[in-house]
Amino acid sequence: MPEILKPDKNNSEEIILARAVEILAGGGIIAYPTETFYGLGADATNPKAIEKIFIVKGRDFKNPISLIIGHPDDIYPLVKDIPESAKKLMAAFWPGALTIIFAASDKISPLLTAGTGKIGLRVSSHPIALRIVQKLKSPLTATSANLSGAPECAEASEVIDQIGDKIDAIVDFGQTPGDKASTIIDVTCTPPVILREGTISKEVIVKNIGS
């Protein structure tokens, strides 16, 4: 069973977050709440930890993995350039459920890009996810905490049922909003292409980037 990190009279939010970051920094894998579903977190600068994510999910290495960053400025070492369309999207929807696909810099592990040369990034609007990545001071993997092809998890108990025996800890702050995943848009092409319409609608995105 994974370690359950849940606030109570003996464990404050600070204690829980510190423990979660300790596990991540040591190469461990956690599940954590986001503004959509529970995410599966590993330190994205640790190749061995990234490999564990694929093993936990039963995921094909040909599938890329997106990341959560702590602040929009954290994007600069991770991407080759930031198109004007991306700047508009970042200003409008970060923090929030919009994953933006950029041309990845050489600092991004090929495991994360799956050989595409692209990386998906977002700043989470969930306070716990955001504080974890800010405390870690490294990008955090943001793939859903489930088996590949199985339903996404909005409850910690659902995560336990699917992958509880394969991860180190679950940061349990109750039910996440669920319903829809993040919207994904690729800004490496002109005009940008919406790869997945999720929480943020196509109409709202088009209105903000003017195309």
Rounded CA separation 166/1 (Å):
8
Rounded CA separation 114/110 (Å):
6
pLDDT (0 to 100) of residue 35: 95
Rounded CA separation 84/198 (Å):
22
What mean pLDDT comes out for the span 104-110? 95
Range of the domain at 164: 3-209
Q: Tens digit of pLDDT for each residue in 51-101?
A: 999 999 998 888 999 999 999 999 999 999 999 999 999 999 999 999 999
pLDDT (0 to 100) of residue 210: 73
pLDDT (0 to 100) of residue 121: 98
DSSP 62-78: TS---EE-SSGGGGTTT
Q: Give the CATH number, domain containing residue 19.
A: 3.90.870.10
Q: What percent of the chain has pLDDT over 90?
A: 91
pLDDT (0 to 100) of residue 1: 86
Q: How many domains does the chain have?
A: 1
Q: Tens digit of pLDDT for each residue in 118-132?
A: 999 999 999 999 999
What mean pLDDT comes out for the span 92-115? 96
Query: Is the model's pLDDT at 141 over the cut of 80?
Result: yes
Q: What are the start-end ranges of the H helices in the chain?
A: 13-25, 47-57, 84-93, 110-113, 127-136, 156-163, 202-209
Q: List the one residue out of 4, 35, 45 whose CA is nearest residue 141.
A: 45
pLDDT (0 to 100) of residue 208: 86
Q: pTM for the full model?
A: 0.95
pLDDT (0 to 100) of residue 211: 54
Confidence of residue 178 (pLDDT cuts 50, 70, 90): confident
Q: Tens digit of pLDDT for each residue in 44-65?
A: 999 999 999 999 999 888 899 9
